[in-house]
Structure 1
Amino acid sequence: MHIEACKWYNDAHSPVLLMMDDLANTWVDTKGNGELELGGDWGYHKYAEQSAMQFLMDRILSQYPEVKVTFFVPVGERVGILEQPVLNQISLPINADEESKQFFRSVHEDSRFELAYHGTTHGRVGESAAEFVQEWSLFSSVEDARETIQAGMSIFRDAVGEFPQGGKYCGYESNDFSDDSIDESGFTWWCRYWNRGQNEQESLNIRGSDHNPLTNYDVKRFGKNNVVDIPSTLNGALLNGVMLPDASWKGRIKRMLGRGYIRWKLRQIDYLLRHRLVISIQEHIAPSRDDGKRQSPNILDDCDSLMGIFGYLSDKNVWHCTGSELARYVNVRDHTSVVQLNSHSFKLLYPLSFREQEISLRMSGSSSSRIRLPNQELREVKNGVANVPLQDGEYFMVEGDG
């Protein structure tokens, strides 16, 4: 008998994360009439009709309740794009009032969701969209970055009740001080790069220095504290060219190609599944911007594409999780050792702080149908895989009724 830790929980081929940028206490008055229009809300209107969260719940999650969402939250007054905006934008900190705190806390406490850190203001406005500066590019030192991060984390804790475990660079932009600021601020995980864009011609600085897709699309670590680096690997708009072809000659060709074109697009997902890599789907909570332009990807424009992606994954061996759930399992996996005592028992060696967290074990050369835990509880073995909590003592392989 041979026992080893599975790469992913429940021996899934890939973890699947829906990563949603810019859930914030913000909305854009897209019609200039002071009334909420679909696509204008970023979270300010909570679960009101036409709100972003209600759209997400009704149009996507109602069809695929297994999907989990990690929301990246600018915690302060999320700035717009322009010094002189075209559209009026209202933005408040997520702890602006008790109603706001209750909303963001309720989202974070929902087992399907998680709030993660996405800066304070997201950056600094410019005279034009091209002159907008992303938040981590503004910092001139590690201390400068840490001071802002600590202030932002305090806002997060005041609203949510705990500090964020992870987050993402605004616009995936950073400088020489950024990684150290994350490492020293106590985050367990972080998203540093847009590892895979809509095409293979995206600038390499966005992807980092790793040109090998087998490692670039997998989790890594950085910093003295070994922060888990979660890659961003799939654009939520992947199937838009298939689901919503335009009237151009390219659109007409796509319609003629039909299922063959869909199959060609889905090869990105197949690649990630085949190599057991992370499927992290990137989206924005809303399309609206104060310069009147439409940001992408976003869940309104990409709704059909997302439905197609989740439909395709529905019969695949995947693990739907949040960023923190993924990082937690990676840490457990990487710091737990299996010690086989004989042909029917073993022990697990692990850091004390991981006790009772679960690890997935694959057992080859065993016909056992259950495992008796050190606390005498039984766990099923399915297809040679068992999910067991980390406990002190011996684990016994059990055949038959045990």
Structure 2
Amino acid sequence: MHIDKCKWYNDAESPVLFMIDDLANTWVDTNNNGQVDWGEDWGYFRDEDRSSFRFLQERLLVHFPDVKVTFFVPVGVRVGMMDRPLFKQVSLPINADEASKDFFQSIHHHPRFEIAYHGTTHGKVGSRATDFIQEWELFRSVEEAVERIGEGIAIYEDAIGERPQGGKYCGYMSNEHSDESINQAGFTWWCRYWNRGSEHGDPISGLDKNPLTNYDVKRFASQGVIDIPSTLDGGLLRGVYQADMSVKGIAKRLLRKPIVRWKLREIDYLLEHRLVISIQEHIAPARDDGQRQSPNIFDDCTSLVGIFHYLEDKKVWYCTGTELANYVNVRDHVQVVLLEEDRFIFDHDTKYTGQEITLKFEEVQPCRILLPNLHAIDVVAGVVTVPVLQGEYTILKGGV
């Protein structure tokens, strides 16, 4: 008998991650009326009326209960886009007061959500938006980067109650000190690049031009930090659904179905090759320089609905960044040792005890697995997900 470890949890074709940047204790008053309007809030108004979090819940997530969200949060005072802004921006650390801490902590402890690390200020402003320098580009040494990360982690811990497990480079920009700073700071996983960049002409991408590896998880640095790729723009279908009365817009409406089908080939490719589907968005469009932040959940809501509807009948695994990283670590570090035809054990470090792994059996006839704790789990179509425990597992033939 041969037992394989499945690439993804429950033998899914692909993991699906919904990643939303810049949820922060920030508000940009783009019409200077002193009250929040749709699209202005980055998290300052928490779950209040016309907040972006409320919009996300009511306009999108309520329709797709299996979807999970990893929020990337600048934990300090998030700077604007230029030093003489057009609009007023209010920003505070996420631990500024108890209401803020309660909000971000409640999100992180919700089973559908996760708060990941996205720097302290996000970067440094200049006289123009084009002069903005992203946070990890600013550090002149690993030590300086690690010190700033430590300050950010302290804010995160005060608000959330634990350390962040993963995060993302602000603007996907980094320098020669950045990766080692993430390594030394003890993160389990990180998002380093906009992995679609090489194909779409975007320079914010890594050197790997092979999509079969570029769109898959990797590791970097001495601690083997898991590098989770960013593979799908949430606005994939945006242009198809936008109201446009031009001749081109009318033609798009008439050809909507074939255009959508053509665009969805991006997702088909990832599913076919069992690669990561990580959908990228921002929590709000408002910026203090008057430009519109893209992609964002307001402009892309219809596109996102189309994407998630398309995935509904696909064999995918909705997960957070940490859930994905935890499974990959178990998959890579836990070994199956076959003792006899009907018994096996796991060779593993005790830190993986209790975590789950999905196994596939060469023989697909129905059977059950008797765990070391004497609980039995059915094997369906040759696949079973079991907890990693000490002791022997027994394969019971002729189960379900």
Which TM class, normalised by the smaller chain length? over 0.9
**Alpha-carbon distance in structure 2 between the residues aligned to 1:61 and 1:198:** 31
> Residue 342 in 1 paired to residue 333 in 2?
no
Q: CA deviation at 1:401?
A: 5.5
Report if aligned partners of 1:245, 1:252 keep a CA contact under 8 Å in 2: no
1:30 equivalenced with 2:30 (yes/no): yes
Cα distance in 1 between the residues matched to 2:49 and 2:299: 18
Q: What is the rounded CA distance, in whole Å, between the counterparts of 1:220 and 1:235 in structure 2?
A: 20
Contact 1:198–1:238 (Cα < 8 Å) also in 2: no
| 1:345 and 1:394 in contact (8 A); partners too | yes
| 3-state DSSP of counterpart to 2:36 | coil
Structure 1 segment 355-394 matched on structure 2, within 5 A: 355-394=353-392
- Could you say if the C-alpha distance between residues 218 and 354 of structure 1 is closer, same or farther in structure 2, counting changes exceeding 3 Å? same
Q: Report how far residue 129 of structure 1 moved.
A: 0.6
Compute the displacement of 1:202 (Å): 2.1
Q: Is the 8 A contact 2:198 2:209 kept in 1?
A: no
Match runs of 1:76-95 below 5 Å: 76-95=76-95
8 Å CA contact 1:368–1:397 kept in 2: the answer is no
- Under a length normalisation based on structure 1, what TM-score does the superposition of the two structures give? 0.97
The question of 1:297 aligning with 2:295 is answered yes
Deviation at 1:378, TM superposition (A): 0.9
Aligned equivalents of 2:376 and 2:187: distance in 1? 35
Match of 1:271 in 2: 269
Q: Please name the residue that 1:151 is paired with.
A: 151
Structure 1's consecutive aligned runs of 4 or more residues displaced over 6 angstroms after TM superposition are none
Aligned equivalent of 1:117: 117
Question: What residue ranges of structure 2 are gaps of 5+ in the alignment?
Answer: none
Alignment of 1:127-206 (within 5 A): 127-197=127-197, 200-203=200-203, 206=204
Match of 2:13 in 1: 13
Residue 222 of structure 1 corresponds to: 220
Q: What is the TM-score when the length of structure 2 is the normalising length?
A: 0.98
- Aligned with 1:184: secondary structure? helix
Alignment of structure 1 residues 52-67 onto 2, 5 Å: 52-67=52-67
Deviations 1:295-328 (A, max 9, x none): 0000000000000000000010000000000000
Shift of 1:351: 1.2
Distance 2:312 2:143 in 1: 45
Determine the C-alpha separation between the residues in 2 that align with 1:384 and 1:367.
7
CA distance in 2, matches of 1:401, 1:280: 37
SS in 2 for 1:251: helix
Matched residues in 2 for 1:12 and 1:361: separation? 12
Q: Is the 8 A contact 1:245 1:254 kept in 2?
A: no
SS of the counterpart of 1:346? Answer: strand
- CA-to-aligned-CA distance 1:327-374 (integer Å, 9 cap, x gap): 000000000111112221111111110001000001111524211001
Residue of structure 2 equivalent to 1:320: 318
Q: Match for residue 329 of structure 1?
A: 327
Deviation at 1:26? 0.4
Letter in 1 for 2:263: K
**Structure 2 Cα separation of the partners of residues 185 and 254 of structure 1:** 48
CA distance in 2, matches of 1:70, 1:231: 13
Q: Note the C-alpha offset of 1:199.
A: 5.7
What do the CA deviations read for 1:23-75 (whole angstroms, capped 9, x no partner)? 00001112101100000001110111100110011011100010000000000
1:285 aligns with 2:283: yes
Residue equivalent to 2:258 = 260
Unmatched 5+ stretches in structure 1? none
Correspondence 1:51 to 2:51: yes
Q: Supply the distance in 1 between the matched residues of 2:19 and 2:198 (Cα, whole angstroms).
A: 16
- The Cα shift of 1:250 comes to 3.5
Letter in 2 for 1:201: G
Q: Secondary structure at the match of 1:159?
A: helix
For 1:297 and 1:7, the matched residues in 2 are separated by: 30
Give the structure 1 partner of residue 309 of structure 2. Answer: 311
In structure 2, give the amino acid aligned to 1:71. Answer: F
Question: How many residue pairs were aligned?
Answer: 400
Percent identity, aligned pairs only? 60
**Aligned-residue CA RMSD (Å):** 1.3
Decide whether aligned partners of structure 1 residues 197 and 245 sit closer, same or farther in structure 2, where only a CA change above 3 A counts.
farther
